[in-house]
């Protein structure tokens, strides 16, 4: 069992930055691929960024060059550095842990943290 707790969300002006953190319980988190998803009002949840157990990363086209995902296995934590934020980035951001990289559905989810970028 993996429990995920996000932090770092908030309100930030357009062009600003935020860093989200996802703290996982248990040392087995290092065996899972980490990811950040987001869901805006009235929209489906979408993958923002993912980092594999070996550290490879991939990003949604909408955030490439602005968002950066990283992980610290010693701290059982995954981060999402968000720069040059736009109003379209407003959403609830969810941390996720996935065992099978080929699976489109994570095994564990955090509770979510709100990010708001006013227009």
Per-residue confidence band for 8, with pLDDT thresholds at 50, 70 and 90: very high
- What is the arithmetic mean of pLDDT over 62-91? 97
Helix (H, G, I), strand (E, B), or coil: what is residue 12? coil
What is the structure's pLDDT at 102? Answer: 86
Half-sphere exposure of 66 (CA within 13 A, CB side): 17
Q: Are 115 and 63 in contact (CB under 8 A)?
A: no
CB-based contact 77:19 (threshold 8 Å) = no
Question: Band of the pLDDT at 104, cuts 50, 70, 90?
Answer: confident
């Amino acid at each position: 069992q993996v429990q995920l707790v996000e932090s770092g969300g908030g309100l930030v002006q357009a062009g600003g930055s935020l860093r989200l953190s996802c703290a996982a319980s248990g040392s087995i988190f290092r065996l899972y691929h980490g990811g950040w998803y987001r869901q805006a009002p009235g929209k489906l949840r979408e993958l923002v960024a993912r980092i594999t157990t070996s550290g490879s990363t991939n990003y949604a086209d909408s955030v490439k060059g602005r968002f950066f995902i990283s992980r610290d296995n010693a701290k059982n934590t995954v981060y999402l550095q968000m720069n040059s934020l736009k109003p379209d980035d407003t959403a609830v951001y969810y941390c996720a842990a996935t065992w099978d990289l080929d699976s489109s559905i994570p095994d564990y989810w955090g509770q979510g943290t709100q990010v708001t970028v006013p227009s």
